[in-house]
Amino acid sequence: MPPKLSLVIPTYNEAQNIAGLCQKIIQTLEKINFDFELIIVDDNSPDKTWKIAEDLVGRDLRIKAIRRMSERGLGSAVVSGWDNAGGELLGVIDGDLQHPPEILENLLQIIDREKADIAIASRYLPGGGFVKRTPWQGLRSRGAILLGSIFIPKILSTIKDPMSGFFILRKEVVAGKKLKPMGYKILLEVLAVGNYKKVVEFPYVFAQRKAGRTKADWREYLVSLLYLVKLRANKK
4-47 pLDDT, tens digit per residue, is: 999 999 999 999 999 999 999 999 999 999 999 999 999 999 99
Going from N- to C-terminal start, the domains of the chain cover 5-235
Distance CA 205, CA 84 (A): 30
pLDDT class for 93, splitting at 50, 70, 90? very high
Domain topology for 5-235: Spore Coat Polysaccharide Biosynthesis Protein SpsA; Chain A (3.90.550)
Which of the two residues, 76 and 217, has the higher pLDDT score? 76
Which of the two residues, 201 and 208, has the higher pLDDT score? 201
Distance CA 99, CA 101 (A): 6
Which residues does 157 contact at the CB level (< 8 Å), separation at least 6? 149
Identify the CA nearest to 65 among candidates 12, 16, 8.
8
Distance CA 120, CA 161 (A): 8
Q: Are strands 118-122 and 36-42 parallel, antiparallel or unpaired?
A: unpaired
**By mean pLDDT, which of 86-95, 172-181, 190-199, 221-230 is the weakest?**
221-230
Which residues does 217 contact at the CB level (< 8 Å), separation at least 6? none
Average pLDDT over residues 136-156: 59
How far, CA to CA in Å, does 225 sit from each of 7, 143, 173, 181, 199? 26, 10, 24, 12, 23
pLDDT class for 146, splitting at 50, 70, 90? low
Average pLDDT over residues 125-153: 66
Complete DSSP assignment for 8-68: EEEESS-TTTHHHHHHHHHHHHHHTT--EEEEEEE---TT-HHHHHHHHHHH-TTEEEEE-
pLDDT at 135 over 90: no
User: Around Cβ 161, how many Cβ atoms within 10 Å?
Assistant: 23
pLDDT at 83 over 60: yes
Q: What is the pTM of this model?
A: 0.87
